[in-house]
Amino acid sequence: MRPIRLDMAGFTVFRDETTVDFTDADYFALVGPTGSGKSTVLDAITFALYGQVPRWGGTRGIGNALSPSAAEARVRLVFESAGERYVATRVVRRDGRGNVKTAGAGLQLMPRGFDVTKLDTGMDLDDLGEVLAGTPAEMDGAVQEAVGLPYEQFTSCVLLPQGQFADFLHAKPATRQQILVNLLGLHVYEEVQTRATGRASTAEAKLAVVDQQLAGLSDASDEAVEAAEGVLTRMRELTAAVESAMPGLRAARHQESEAATARDALDAELRALGSVRTPAGSAEISGVTAAARASAEQAAEAVRTAEEREEKVRGELAAAGDAGSLKLMLDRHAELERLHGQEEWFAGELQVAEVEFKDAQAAAELAHGAHLGATQLLEQARLDYTEAQRLDKAAALRAHLTSGGPCPVCEQTVTSVPAMPAGSAVQAAEATGKAARAAAEVAESGWKQRDAVARKLEGNLERKRAQHDHHLSRLAEVRGVVAAFPGVPALERQLAELDLLQRKLDQAGTAVRTAREALRAAQRTAHAAEDRERAAWRAFDAVRDQVARFGPPPAERDDLSGAWTTLVEWAAGEHRTRETARSAAQAAVSAAHEATIHAFATVGALFTEAGVTSPARGDESDLIRSAAVAAERAEAAWKRLADRREQAYELNEQRMTLQLQGRVAKSLAGHLRANNFERWLLEEALDLLVDGASRILRELTGGQYELMHDKGEFYVIDHHDAGLRRGVRTLSGGETFQASLSLALALSEQLAGMSTTAASLESIVLDEGFGTLDAATLDVVAATLENLAARGDRMVGLVTHVPSLAERVPVRFEVHKDARSAHVERVGL
């Protein structure tokens, strides 16, 4: 795993958004004062991948990820592993109750050639590539598959945190052995042993199932297959024999069918000839029809007589005149009498209206004169008031003053208005004017009311005159019309004669309707008799048509009874002739039936000889189908036995294979269960690890120390003290650091070759203080790290606050912290 870019926001001391760009940083150092946040950068890398940090104490310390007073922390890591580029993202949030939980986690495979600087544009997660994991649970397996290391191996081989640098060196043998098992992935052999045991059990279970299946196939022997094949041969022979016998059976049945058809034809002819019988009442039908026709002709003659009588009376009525005109003349005589009686009343109404109008018109003129006199008095009062004002201006002015208002003469404020002097001409003139105004208003109102009454009566007079004139005009008009009419007695006599003729016409019409109804009834009776006669002839024709193929004699259409007699006698003679032929046809049917029974018995014997039940029905298709079904069943039974025999062969082969697999799996599980193989692998791995660490330790100590192990314990050989072997716990702080660094470097170098997993150790970062080393040792450590970085196969990083060591690193990430947040600045290449 090789980090490319790290983005943080709200993560522990990095409250503000911070980006660390590791591009081309093959050898770098995180430098800065103690507590500035150097180790937090490594924590962010580990957290982005695994969701936990060693110094937090596992996943329960997730609350440490949030900056103080921050509600959300975001970490995103772009890294390369085994030639592929990935981006891991984790988001942590604090809810309203103060609980901190992972709000989002994801791992994506980025497209090849993706420019990581595009992340500065705020790209959405969906734009970063193929999603490999979208939840914290999916992240665990996806990250381990991408990096090739679980969390424990990652923090022991890639990022070596503070305080745990010497854990592997000082660990007890059992603990160190378990660490190597985890680092080298030797637990895979435990899985192999478990799977081998499972496969052995599975093989035994499958073997039991196969044995049970073989027991159920005990009947599928070679002898049984041969017997079934013999049955199949016999059934096929039966099918061929039945098909060969079918033409004879078919000919016998055809001959029987023809004989039966001839017999049935004679039976049908006998039934048809026997059904020819004279219907009851056929002799009376012709007489009833003739009587009905005579009655209809008599009714038609009565109708003609009644119609002639009606036409005669109608002519007399037309010659007598129009009753409507006579009644109109009588109405005009009556109107003339009425108009003569109304003439005096209209004249009286007109005289009354003229008198009322004249009286009202005189009253209106008197009221108008009174109104004019009052108007003149009012005008005189106004003149008198004006003259009084002129004579007494001061008194007139008082009428316009108000207390507290300005005086229009002196413009001073009026404190009080003086009272009007008694006997003032203005006051007397004012009272006279009010009285004159009231009298004028009363006179005007009276004049208007009387004028309205006069106008209304004038309209009434005009309406009365118009009514009187209309009455006189209508009276003259009616008198002129009536002058040309006969008198009232003559008109009344003419109307009486017309009424008598009208009654005669009504009686003649009733007689015509009665005669017509009688004619219709007679015609219905005649039509019904004719219908019955036609129906009788149709019945005769239908019976004759049924026997027409036998050549019946012709029928006379005017004598129904005679026609029936002739037809019945002819049918009886034909019936006697066919009865003799029918007896001979029945004998032929019986002989053909016996031949059919014999042919069917012959086919049934074929089924009996073959051991198959003959079908109950003797149809040709049933016989052939039964033989074919027997052959198909025999073939199915033979194929079923043959298939079961083949299945038994295959199961025997499976049984041998399962026995072999079970023995191999049981043997492998037994070998791995003894732990000898894993113990040997651990010893070999420890030997290689100690050899590599000794080589590095000799370089770091100038040849003074070598590393060795004995029964799981680590020791150093001090060549400056005559090769004295010392326990690693006796080393000083600086010496312990050198030995631990040697182991860490050796472990990082050799783990990829020894591990069973696809670990990608493309970087190593040391988070350990270098201040305990002297200048010479520090120079050796720096040279060792430089040589490791110079190989170019991995990224080398370290966390230090030693200036002399930091200056030798080409790329430095300076970490500093202010009151709000920590910041990272890249210095160097």
For residue 487, what pLDDT band results from cuts at 50, 70 and 90? confident
Cα-based distances in Å from 347 to 359, 501, 780: 19, 47, 161
Size of the chain in residues: 829
Q: Which of 193, 34, 167 is nearest to 667 (CA)?
A: 193
Both structure tokens of 387? 């003259």
For position 35, what pLDDT does the model report? Answer: 85
Task: State the chain's mean pLDDT as an integer.
Answer: 80
For residue 165, what pLDDT band results from cuts at 50, 70 and 90? low
Residue 51: phi, psi to the nearest 5? Answer: 75, 15
Give me the helices (H) in 99-135, please: none
Residue listed under structure tokens 């992240």: 139
Residue 172: phi, psi to the nearest 5? Answer: -70, 160
The residue type at 817: K
- Dump pLDDT digits (tens) for 282-331: 767 767 777 888 888 888 888 888 888 888 888 877 776 666 777 777 77
Rank 160-174, 245-259, 312-326, 710-724 by mean pLDDT and report only the highest. Answer: 710-724
Considering only residues 242 and 815, tell me which one the structure prediction assigns the higher pLDDT: 815
Inform me whether the pLDDT recorded for 123 exceeds 60. no
Considering only residues 119 and 570, tell me which one the structure prediction assigns the higher pLDDT: 570
Inform me whether the pLDDT recorded for 569 exceeds 70. yes
Give me the helices (H) in 392-487, please: 393-398, 425-482
- Dump pLDDT digits (tens) for 222-278: 777 777 777 777 777 767 877 777 777 677 777 778 888 888 887 887 788 787 887
For position 752, what pLDDT does the model report? Answer: 52
Distance CA 481, CA 331 (A): 11
- Dump pLDDT digits (tens) for 408-466: 778 788 888 777 666 667 777 777 878 888 888 887 888 888 888 888 888 888 888 88
For residue 758, what pLDDT band results from cuts at 50, 70 and 90? very low
The pTM assigned to this predicted structure is: 0.44
For position 63, what pLDDT does the model report? Answer: 85
For residue 761, what pLDDT band results from cuts at 50, 70 and 90? low
Q: Which of 769, 774, 773, 740 is nearest to 156 (CA)?
A: 740
Q: HSE (CB half, 13 Å, CA atoms) of 175?
A: 8
Distance CA 580, CA 635 (A): 57
Both structure tokens of 82? 């085994």
Q: Which of 748, 730, 812, 754 is nearest to 170 (CA)?
A: 730
Distance CA 526, CA 295 (A): 8
Considering only residues 53 and 337, tell me which one the structure prediction assigns the higher pLDDT: 53
User: What is the SS3 assignment for 49-60?
Assistant: HHCCCHHHCCHH
Distance CA 736, CA 802 (A): 18
Inform me whether the pLDDT recorded for 6 exceeds 90. yes
Residue listed under structure tokens 């229009």: 408
The DSSP bridge pattern shows strands 811-817 and 822-828 to be antiparallel
- Dump pLDDT digits (tens) for 60-106: 778 889 998 889 999 999 999 888 899 999 999 998 888 889 999 99
For position 77, what pLDDT does the model report? Answer: 94
Distance CA 692, CA 715 (A): 14
Q: Give DSSP secondary structure letters for 554-568.
A: P--TT-HHHHHHHHH
* Cβ atoms 714, 707 nearer than 8 A: yes
Rank 509-523, 649-663, 759-773 by mean pLDDT and report only the highest. Answer: 509-523
Considering only residues 669 and 67, tell me which one the structure prediction assigns the higher pLDDT: 67
Inform me whether the pLDDT recorded for 161 exceeds 60. no
Residue listed under structure tokens 């002196």: 410
For position 458, what pLDDT does the model report? Answer: 81
Give me the helices (H) in 321-424, please: 323-391, 393-398
List of residues 6+ apart from 799 with CB closer than 8 A = 29, 30, 38, 39, 42, 162, 765, 766, 767, 768
Q: Which of 616, 321, 611, 350 is nearest to 491 (CA)?
A: 321
Distance CA 199, CA 287 (A): 116
